[in-house]
Amino acid sequence: MATLKTKLFLLYLLSTSFDLQHNKMYDTDEYGHRLQIFTENKRIIDHHNAGNHSFKMGLNKFSDMKFEEFRKFFLLTEPQNCSATKGSHVSKTGPYPEFVDWRLKGNFVSPVKNQGYCGSCWAFSTTGCLESVNAITIGKLILLVRFVGVPSQAFEYIKYNKGLMTEEDYPYKGHDATCHFEPALAAVYVLDVVNITRYDEKAMVDAVAWLNPVTFSFDVMADFMHYKEGVYTSTQCKNTADRVNHAVLAVGYGTEENGMPYWIVKNSWGTDWGMDGYFLIERGKNMCGLATCSTYPLCTV
């Protein structure tokens, strides 16, 4: 059995490797504080992984942060009015394919991005969805500029603003600023916005199965910060529209061998988080409010 001194030394080596891997630099006082947080997060991760859960946790670039800090930098803290009670999506009659992944259908999903220390997940969800819908419509994937806005409202903005510029013409800055849209450089146009009826997760399946990826928002809890792989579920998160604090992109769905259905979801925290920047979340139960705020645009050819 390892002595306490040996355990502390191994923890020091692990934390030092973590600092180097994620390019962390602290002064002496800050290092002690971060090491304490890192140690507690590792304890939480190890305890979770020792239990019987549908997903695994792991150390990542957020492991030296408390959830309160993480929430401040990466999530929205104000309630969002982001969904319609009655949506405009019209479902087809089933049956649906058992498995869908738009990444495998062609060049329809843009690479995973990193929003940085900015609560701009809505921008990445919005433009990620618009990039996919436009690629499916015209057969070419065009990378677009990221800007903050609740997805359904952001699509409306793009529609009435008459287009959106490319990422090449307007690079992402990662901080709040005034937008400087140049109409002459607009590359993609929104014809209309389609909201999915609140709590109608079957309609989300319908849209992803037959049309395109869709945006959705959900209530991120502390354990999600440590997600590594598997199908995420939670008994602590809320499932109402006023509690959602993070927007993402559903690019497909499937079912585990044990029968648990899931969504395949693109996040905006970089490829060094989760499953190369993606995660799976339980489908069919409005998990963490994911069916309260789902939408997608229609693009002009």
| Residues assigned a catalytic role | 121, 246, 267
Q: What pLDDT, on the 0 to 100 scale, is given for residue 176? A: 52
For 202, how many CA atoms within 13 A lie in the half-sphere containing its CB? 7
- Give one DSSP letter per residue of the chain, joined into a string: ---HHHHHHHHHHHHHHHHHHTT----HHHHHHHHHHHHHHHHHHHHHHTS--SEEE---TTTTS-HHHHHHHHS--S------SS----PPPSPPPS-EEGGGTSS-SPPP-B--SS--HHHHHHHHHHHHHHHHHHS----B----S-HHHHHHHHHHTT-B-BTTTS---SS-------GGG--B-EEEEEEEPTT-HHHHHHHHHHT--EEEEE---GGGGGEEEEEE--SSS--SGGG--EEEEEEEEEE-TTS-EEEEEE-SB-TTSTBTTEEEEE-SS-GGGTTSSEEEEEE--
Q: 271 or 87: whose pLDDT is higher?
A: 271
Domain count, the chain: 2
Same structural domain, 149 and 30? no
Q: Which residues contact 22 (CB under 8 A, 6 or more apart)?
A: 61, 272
Query: What is the average per-residue pLDDT within 190-214?
Result: 94
Question: Comparing 160 with 48, which gets the higher pLDDT?
Answer: 48
Average model confidence (pLDDT) for the chain? 84
| One domain, residues 167 and 46 | no
Q: Is residue 61 part of a domain?
A: no
42 and 147 part of one domain: no
| Residue among 99, 136, 172, 187 at smallest CA distance from 297 | 136
Residue 36, domain extent: 4-52
Task: Render pLDDT for 88-106 as a digit per residue (tens, 0 to 9).
Answer: 898 987 789 999 999 999 9
Residue 64 lies in a domain: no
20 plus 114 within the same structural domain: no
Q: Indicate if 105 and 244 belong to the same structural domain.
A: yes
Higher pLDDT, residue 62 or 157? 62
Are residues 142 and 25 part of one domain?
Answer: no
**For range 291-298, the mean pLDDT:** 92
pLDDT at 84: 57
Same domain, 48 and 143: no
Position with higher pLDDT, 226 vs 154: 226
Summarised one tens digit per residue, pLDDT across range 170-201 is: 555 544 555 555 566 667 888 888 999 999 99
> Could you report the per-residue pLDDT of 228-272, keeping only the tens digit for each?
999 999 999 999 988 899 999 999 999 999 999 999 999 999 999
Sign of the Cα pseudo-torsion (86, 91, 94, 95, in order): negative
Q: What pLDDT shows up at residue 7?
A: 47
Residue 155 within a domain: yes
Q: What is the CATH number of the domain that holds 224?
A: 3.90.70.10
What pLDDT is attached to residue 211? 96
Q: What is the pLDDT of residue 1?
A: 46
CA distances from 45 to 63, 119, 193 (A): 10, 25, 40
Domain annotation covers residue 253: yes
* 101 shares its domain with 228: yes
C-alpha triplet 52, 251, 276: angle, nearest 5°: 60
Q: Is residue 157 scored above 80 in pLDDT?
A: no
Which pLDDT belongs to residue 215?
A: 95
User: Is residue 186 domain-shared with residue 266, that is, in the same domain?
Assistant: yes
Q: What is the pLDDT of residue 121?
A: 82
Asked if the structure places residue 65 within a domain, the reply is: no
Whether pLDDT at 21 is above 70: no
35 and 163, same structural domain?
no
The whole-number average pLDDT for the span 6-12 is 49
Q: Is residue 174 part of a domain?
A: yes
Q: Six-digit token pair at 290?
A: 């994911």
Judge if 46 and 80 occupy the same domain: no
Q: Is the same domain home to 48 and 125?
A: no
